[in-house]
Structure 1
Amino acid sequence: MGGPAAPTVSRMDDYHKLIDPNAKWYKNRRLVVLNLWILLLLITSTANGYDGSMMNGLQLLTQWETAFNFPSGSKLGLLGAIQNIGSLGALPFWPYACDGLGRKKTIFLGAVIMCAGAIIQTASQSVEMFIGSRFMLGFGLGFCNAAAPMLVTELAYPSQRAPISSVYNGLWNGGAVIASWVTFGTFHIPNSWSWRIPSACQAIPSVLQVFLIPFAPESPRWLIAKGRDAEALRILAYYHANGNAEDPLVQFEFQEIKAAIDAEQLQKQTGWLTLFRTPGNRRRLRIIVAIAFFSQWSGNGLVSYYLNQVFDTIGITNKVEQLLISAFLAIWSVFVAVTGGLLCDRAGRRPLFLISTTGMLLFFTLQTTCTGVYALHQNKAAGNAVVAFIFLYSAAYGLAYSPLIVSYTLEILPFELRAKGFTIFSFAVSASLVFNQYINPIALKAIAWKYYIVYCVWLVFELVFIYFFLVETRNKTLEETALIFDGDESVVSIWRKAASKAHIEGAPISDQASDSEKADSEKAIELHVEDVTQV
């Protein structure tokens, strides 16, 4: 990860050449401040992960089960799914809030609703009250989950954008770690505070966002789209170049963003139907919907929400042992997810997805086999092997699906369609989650370990799809990545506009430049365009 932009560069064929390779971001005070603001946004994903693991932990608490009359079957499925049903309820409002109010205000709105939901959940006196509060939590989380990753992607320093935005979703597992240890810590409290304390802790990220998000920077891309160019340039300059608005990197960022957004608005690429009109957009949509369903229909839902029932199928019934395995699994998952996120530019998105899906297929098949052996022959060694394969499966899943599904979705969408396309992605995730959380406990109860075979077959389909349809996007700017789906001409057009207006080595590339300068600039642009469009 680089630091501030270098004072001069020799050519314009790669934005990396506008970044001083010897500068360290952690030695630049304003980049440190920017990353602290981004950290405030990253905890949105942590809050989401906390909820999933908290529900897993609460099912292991006798005090919680007693308070709500030992929920099972469809009622247990509803308790797990209601948060995502709440997110679905908020979904029609997400894109209009993000594009109309702005990223910051949308996060603030969602955080306020989540605070209210956490208070009601903590004070619940009946299962109906608990379900209602979880619906409210999901409703508020929907707004935060829509705006926060977009703001991370649109604010981050260019060389840090891909890994930081990938780490966003990887931190879902960070919330799971916290929830696992909180529920383990309250396990021995002999009253309702054993589950009320984890419920109250769920409000902490939202409280921080309510008080701090009004002071965070807004997305420069959103500001430019609203005609507030001066504010956007000021934010880019302040955080990316120590306040120097004439910095070559800042000028190029600003001009590339402006050229891309102007082109989208000129082509009227703003309506919902635009997502289906062009071959490039249909290609985006096919990938987005697919990875959304893959992220939840790969067998991971069993581990995320119903791990205790998985343990029951292999003879691990001691509650303390179940809680400890769950807690260590969460730590393992967050480590792998963050590692995968940091590798996204080095290894590439496509290789990570292929390795991840292949690993999931292998380890889930082995997990299914060992579970079947235990069920049929009560073989203790087979039961223990299942635990090992759960850890290996989680590593395979976490390498790509935990960190990349959100960052990849956002980077392949152009700005004017980003909120709407991400809404469709979120709808697909929530719909698949609701189905899984409602069906999984029923299917597990009905056919036990044989239900795993369904996921084994589905994982084969996932691997084939990833191999034939996923597009590589590494080491490109946000605007370039979005444009590679629209063909070479779109990339060339945006690059010509950006390069003709950005200041390179102290002078703009314009009609006043010499013939040799124009020729050099044209050659540099063509070289970069050739690199960008090699998909």
Structure 2
Amino acid sequence: MADTLGRDMRFVPRSSNVISVLLVAASCVTATTLGYDGSMMNALNILPSYTEYFSLNTTTLALNTSALWIGGAVAGIVYGPITDILGRKKALFWAAVLTIISAIIQAAAQNIAMFVVSRILIGFGTGASAVAGPTYLAETMQLKHRAWGLGVFYDCWFVGGLISAGVTYGTAKMDTTWAWRLPSALQGLFSIICIVILPFMPESPRWLVHKGYNDEALDVIALTYANGDRANPAVLVQYQEIVDTLNYEKNTGETLSVKQMFKTPSARKRTILSLSVAVITMLSGNNIISFYLGTMLENAGITDSHTQLEINIILNAWSLCIALFGTVFANRLGRKKLAAISTAALTIFLFMFGGLTAKYGTSANTAGIYGTVATLFLFQGSYSFGLSPITVMYPPEVLNYPIRSNGMGLYTFLVNGVGLLVTFAFPYALDAIGWKTYMINGAWNVLEVLFILFYWVETKDKTLEEIDALFEGEKHSDVVDLEIVLNGKLDASNVLQGIDVPINSNEVPVTSKAVKGA
């Protein structure tokens, strides 16, 4: 197993499309597990067999639910360097192992302390895979599949949510503690799938080049772009871009340190952009729905737990469909426009939900209650359309190699820190001011829209190396942009001029002097 988790590619398929599917399937374990957890905790917070077993009050309800984010925040601090040292595959493997162990402990919990500790450990496991997974996927997927892969990555939140909603709907009929223990144990299922798939996947070519394994990096690019054809022009251009850019970064003194994220104006802007995604995706109001749907529905006038569980299933299915639809538009609209449309729409519907809850939440007006629930679906659909695909698509794109792992670590820390804040605070807010919580959140969302419109940088249709020009004014390689080659706008003989193919893993090619431009 140790060899197959490293550079060994004996079991890697020779089909680029199959590799793309496997990369997404294994990397998506983070979002699937988190989606499962969110939907599961939603359901458990509705089930008397769970709330009565732990004798939960507002404080312990919030603690049990939000403990996940504590572990995720810790993982964000420590797992960036680990991902750089071990490699992307091994880092993902150990994150999955920890998540499986933690799920078993949660299922066996005998008291609140044991339950909270298990959820902190699950948070660390999913947080670690949130550092390694998007980094791995962004660095290994070919250009035309990158937006699709990273978009589907967090769309899988709703795959996990839908599975969990179905599981908890079934176990709710149990009279024993297995009503919540069984869903808890099944949380480790996605990590098991990840471990099974990992031996059939290649290591990140950018990590391989950085470690000096250039020949193996070229093989990986050939496998992901051209079914193993090392002579394909697109393969050679992408390879040379990576080599040139990493050589430039080493020669200019860029290191894999936390300090590097704040060292230059361009690095600071990259870091701010990645962190803005963490804030926007966590503070737009979606966490209320993700963890306290039951409370929201009660405030809206839906008090029957059976009906609440049914709505949980339908909402996850609806959100998954809309998220996949939005992912299709990630390259057509671009990241910036997609995020702005999504955030503006969800802001409008959050205001509407707050107003309708205030008007009909305590009334017997059936039409008003149904209208409130419909607005909830429109809010979640708006969030799913843009912010779900963007969640881990944009951060690794704007971060260059020296700061990518640590940047995703800081991103994960902030995601979990903000998640902890809102998940712990919202029960008190909903208890104290009810519908006004949504109005305050909506006002904040207006600021998010303005930030996206005036500060974000568009990254669509560019390789990770070509994005450098957006921040630093130039690309650090002389080769033609990959999009030109993929679109057949340049003669292959021009593309191949000056590109150096390594003979063995110890040979490091010199900077290319290939023709630039069409």
Pairwise same-fold verdict (TM > 0.5): yes
Work out the CA distance in 1 between the residues paired with 2:466 and 2:25: 25
Q: How far apart are the structure 1 equivalents of 2:491 and 2:106?
A: 55
Name the structure 1 match of 2:478.
Answer: 495
Segments of 5+ residues of structure 1 without an aligned counterpart are 1-26, 512-520, 528-535
Contact 1:164 1:342 in 2 (8 A): no
Show the counterpart of 1:352. Answer: 338
1:174-185 matched pairs, under 5 angstroms: 174-185=159-170
Q: Deviations over 1:496-521 (max 9, x none)?
A: 4989xx9933884249xxxxxxxxx9
Paired position in structure 2 for 1:272: 258
For residues 94-109 of structure 1, the aligned pairs below 5 Å read 94-109=79-94
Q: Within 5 Å, give how 1:416-455 maps onto structure 2.
A: 416-455=402-441
2:115 matched residue in structure 1: 130
Give runs of aligned pairs for residues 214-363 of structure 1, distance below 5 A. Answer: 214-270=199-255, 271-363=257-349
Counterpart selection for 1:201 from 186, 207, 212: 186
The DSSP-based 3-state class of the residue aligned with 1:480 is coil
Give the deviation of 1:523 after TM superposition. Answer: 11
CA distance in 1: counterparts of 2:406 and 2:64, whole angstroms: 28
Is the 8 Å Cα contact of residues 352 and 375 (structure 2) preserved in structure 1? Answer: yes
Residue of structure 2 equivalent to 1:367:
353
- Separation (CA, whole Å) in 2 of partners of 1:29 and 1:266: 35
Distance 1:314 1:238 in 2: 52
What is the RMSD computed on CA atoms of the aligned residues?
2.3
Superimposed CA distance per residue, residues 33-67 of structure 1 (whole angstroms, 9 cap, x where no aligned partner): 44224312223321121111111111111111121
What is residue 525 of structure 1 aligned with on the other side?
516
**What is residue 396 of structure 1 aligned with on the other side?**
382
Structure 2 residue aligned with 1:75: 60
1:414 paired with 2:400, answer yes
Q: Provide the TM-score with structure 2 as the length reference.
A: 0.89
Give me the whole-angstrom Cα distance separating, in 2, the residues matched to 1:423 and 1:259: 26
Contact 1:233 1:254 in 2 (8 A): yes
Q: What displacement does 1:524 show?
A: 6.8
- Which deviates the most, 224-233 or 340-349? 340-349
- What does 1:34-113 correspond to in 2, within 5 Å? 34-69=20-55, 71-113=56-98
SS of residue in 2 equivalent to 1:235: helix
CA deviation string 1:220-241 (max 9, x = no partner): 1100011111111112223322
- When structure 1 is superposed on structure 2, of 125-134 and 208-217 the one drifting more is 208-217
Cα distance in 1 between the residues matched to 2:29 and 2:76: 20
Contact kept? 1:259, 1:497, Cα under 8 Å: no
Quick check: 1:163–1:343 contact (8 Å CA) kept in 2? no
Percent identity, aligned pairs only, is 34
Q: Quick one: structure 1 residues 304 and 480, their matched pair in 2 at CA, closer, same or farther if it must change by over 3 Å?
A: same
Give CA deviations for 1:125-176 in whole Å, capped at 9, x if unaligned: 1121111111111111121111111111122122111111111112111111
CA contact (8 A) 1:255 1:497 kept: no
Ranges in structure 2 where 5+ consecutive residues have no aligned partner: 1-12, 483-489, 500-511
Q: Measure, in 2, the Cα distance between the counterparts of 1:274 and 1:219.
A: 21
SS of corresponding position for 1:217: coil
Q: What residue in structure 1 maps to residue 487 of structure 2?
A: none
**CA shift at 1:272, angstroms?**
2.0
Distance between the aligned counterparts of 2:74 and 2:40, measured in 1? 22
Aligned equivalent of 1:504, options 483, 486, 492: 492
CA distance in 1 between counterparts of 2:367 and 2:139 reads: 50
| Partners of 1:287 and 1:470 within 8 A in 2 | yes
What TM-score do you get using the length of structure 1 for normalisation?
Answer: 0.86
Q: Is the 8 A contact 1:111 1:140 kept in 2?
A: yes
Are residues 384 and 472 of structure 1, via their aligned partners in 2, closer, same or farther at CA, if it must alter by over 3 Å? Answer: same
Which stretch shifts more, 397-406 or 207-216?
207-216
C-alpha distance in structure 2 between counterparts of 1:510 and 1:139, whole Å: 46
